Amino acid sequence: MKSDFLRELVDDVKEVEEQPTQAFKVGFAAGSILVSLGVFALEGILIASVATSLGWGLSFLQGLGVAALFELVMLRLKNG
């Protein structure tokens, strides 16, 4: 029994790894940056709203400042 037909099937099924295109790389980088900025803005809104509900009048920019400070502290703790 010949196994040539199996080799042909395997060659047909064998996947060729495709490298991502330049457009995909740019889109992925832009999407990652936009998501990071969105999460940062949500942190600022959350901190400002919680502080305001506790009686401290924080604006959105002050909430962003507090969020940035937390991010800096976490970065310093992570890198040791």
Each of the 80 residues of the chain gets a pLDDT tens digit; together they read 577 767 777 766 666 667 889 999 999 999 999 999 999 999 999 999 999 999 998 899 999 999 999 989 998 998 87
Question: Residue ranges per domain, the chain?
Answer: 42-80
In the numeric block, the tokens 């969105």 are attached to: 38
pTM for this entry:
0.66
Distance CA 35, CA 24 (A): 16
Distance, CA of 31 to chain centre: 8
Distance, CA of 10 to chain centre: 37
